[in-house]
Structure 1
Amino acid sequence: MPRTVDVHAHAWLPQIQSLVRYRPEYPAYAELEELRAGRASAGVSARRFAENRGLLTDPDARIAAMTAAGVDVQVVSVSPTQYHSWADPVLAWELAQATHDGIREHCAAHPERLCGLGVAPLRHPETAVAALEHALGNGLRGVEISSHAPLPDGGTVELSDPALNPLWARAEELGAVLFLHPWGCTLDARLDRWYLANSVGQPVEHTVAITHLIFGGVLDRFPRLRLLIAHGGGYLPTSLGRADHAWRHRPEAAGCRELPSTYPPRMWFDSLVYTPESLHALIRAAGPDRVLLGSDYPFDMGIEDPVRRLADAVPDPGLAAAIGGGNAAELGLLPHF
């Protein structure tokens, strides 16, 4: 039976905070984050982070939680709060190297049960390629990317931007996993209450980002990309009928070669969708070989019992084994030891 593999688990690296804390750009970044979250949610998040810091930083605490949950392997990526997409090219490169060193060191404490992902700063495509190569050269399985990156002039680097083609080409060539995990919804203060910035904002960002990948023809030009999408892909897997209708009836919507609904089976998705009904909808949209176990450890929008929930939602033992670990093994998300 395959080992159970949780592909969506985070770490927090103090060295990243040390690199950005006193930068002149940092206060504006922190202010934007509070604007997006709202003051009440920002306060709750700060308290929850203090409570869970050990789970994010201590490999032994991580292993204890994994064992209690029946998880054999975790794929560890840095907390998206540490992306710092505003960084200039020099700082972005320093942050990438520090992230890779930190994740590698964290996983090295238990190399038989932990493997890691690096980062690639989308704002600086050349640096992103170098960061991808650096991550793989340091034993990581790929990189975590966000749904977009802000530009100094107020614009945005979208995942369909041709400037990112060298990153996609190199990732395809190297067989690297690209883990899409947004941070920061561009709806900003419209979601600043009731924790909408996360409960609504994250799925929105996923939907927009994946739509750019599909309609922008990225998956046509780079069909061997190994894209792993967090949070079950947001709203997109359940709204493909509308995308297909637009593709059929609007000439400017036909930016991809085939119907949009044919593209989810060319990506991979984690299982973090909370209900059996949503999980089965995701399996129908993407295929049983394209869904992987994910928990969002150790955040409160994650789940502490991903293996039990999978067993409850998927009674078929073969399908449960594939989602629980077999598909992750096929994607190369296992420790090398």
Structure 2
Amino acid sequence: MSPGYPALRQVDVHTHALPQPLLQWLAEQGLAEPDDVPREAYDVEARLAFMDEAGVEVHAVSVSPHLRTPASPDAGFVRELARRSNEALAGFVAQAPDRLVALAAVPVGLADATEEVRRCLDDLGMAGVVLATRGLGRDLTDPVHTPLWELLVQHRAFTLLHPVAAPGQAGTLAAAVDLATGVAALLHAGVLETYDVPLCLAYGGGALPSVRGLLQRGWERLGEGPALRHSPLDQLRRLFYDTATFDPLQLQQLVEFAGPAQVLMGSDYPAPLGDADPIGVVEACQFGPVQEMITGVTATSLLRLTV
């Protein structure tokens, strides 16, 4: 543990990075403009300085699925991009292993995605994975992903589900709806019941909390998800949610619905939407003693951090 930090860790489960080797390669492909990337995304010293200022000890770091072009139809490119992302991430977090842990990039849509995930979890020692809601025209209910879900269960791997805008769509609303649509599909297909994965929804679940009543009513009265053993509300309460709602009232309602043990601090830093003061956001809600669960206790367990 780093000097000066209490035994209780402050952990941010939703942050991003664009390490220098990956940034350079993306620039060569015409997919990134280095001048537009904040220094904290690729410079570990700058990242640690920011974390110290924010009072956060640990960042779980991933390459944003938005940058990994999930709409690409080229399977070879998707595979290569995931591999390069993970190699770069491994090098990035290795510079500060007591402060940074990596969430592996998954080549969603590929039948052999498990090979890359297994390499990251077993060989590179990553703390979990980040999943885009779709890739190569396939969502996460597609049978091609069955081995992936089985592997995540086997490893009990922390999984951050991150939205991506559908082809032809963009913006925060599209991302919020994408996440809600993706989770609803997983629910109705029985994936959430079948695979007991510690699944955390980015952005507090996006639009999902606003439609949970509709999902419940559709199951009760319209027969949506007829094979489900547990109601949509029961299943949604078993998921984890990050705090990146950017609205204190919504965050309070989320904690009231799911419980403080199911809500994890997340900032989306240093993305444009990112919150520079995630602890302050939680403190403003005045959760009292249960705040510790949100800011670090649960995440420390899920990410298997050494105390």
Q: TM-score, normalised by structure 1?
A: 0.82
CA contact (8 A) 1:261 1:285 kept: no
Name the amino acid aligned to 2:89: I
Which of 34, 52, 64 aligns to 2:49? It is 64
Map of 2:99 onto structure 1:
113
Which of 207, 213, 217 aligns to 1:241? It is 213
Shift of 1:101: 1.5
Within-5 A mapping of 1:1-337 = 2-16=8-22, 19=25, 50=35, 52-85=37-70, 86=72, 88-126=74-112, 128-136=113-121, 137-150=123-136, 156-186=137-167, 188-189=168-169, 197-222=170-195, 224-316=196-288, 318-332=289-303, 334=305
Shift of 1:51: 5.0
Cα 1:148–1:71, aligned 2, differ >3 Å: closer, same or farther? same
- Quote the Cα distance in structure 1 between the aligned partners of 2:220 and 2:147: 30
CA contact (8 A) 2:129 2:160 kept: yes
Segments of 5+ residues of structure 1 without an aligned counterpart are 31-44, 151-155, 190-196
CA contact (8 A) 1:248 1:254 kept: no
Count matched residues: 299
Shift of 1:20: 5.7
Cα 1:210–1:247, aligned 2, differ >3 Å: closer, same or farther? same
Shift of 1:53: 2.6
Cα 1:14–1:183, aligned 2, differ >3 Å: closer, same or farther? farther
- Which is richer in helix? 1
Shift of 1:249: 1.1
- Quote the Cα distance in structure 1 between the aligned partners of 2:111 and 2:228: 23
Secondary structure of 2:69's match? coil
RMSD value over aligned CA atoms? 2.3
CA contact (8 A) 1:264 1:285 kept: no
Q: Deviation digits for residues 157-200 of structure 1, max 9, x if unmatched?
A: 122222211100011001112211122234x25xxxxxxx3321
Cα 1:297–1:172, aligned 2, differ >3 Å: closer, same or farther? same
Cα 1:71–1:252, aligned 2, differ >3 Å: closer, same or farther? closer
Secondary structure of 2:15's match? strand
Q: TM-score, normalised by structure 2?
A: 0.90
Name the amino acid aligned to 1:114: L
Cα 1:72–1:18, aligned 2, differ >3 Å: closer, same or farther? closer
Cα 1:83–1:287, aligned 2, differ >3 Å: closer, same or farther? same
Secondary structure of 1:131's match? helix
Secondary structure of 1:272's match? coil
- Quote the Cα distance in structure 1 between the aligned partners of 2:84 and 2:73: 14
- Quote the Cα distance in structure 1 between the aligned partners of 2:126 and 2:200: 15
- Quote the Cα distance in structure 2 between the aligned partners of 1:55 and 1:20: 17
Shift of 1:21: 6.0
Q: Percent identity?
A: 29
Secondary structure of 1:239's match? helix
Shift of 1:81: 3.1
Cα 1:240–1:121, aligned 2, differ >3 Å: closer, same or farther? same
Secondary structure of 2:38's match? helix
- Quote the Cα distance in structure 1 between the aligned partners of 2:262 and 2:236: 8
- Quote the Cα distance in structure 1 between the aligned partners of 2:66 and 2:206: 19
- Quote the Cα distance in structure 1 between the aligned partners of 2:249 and 2:138: 34
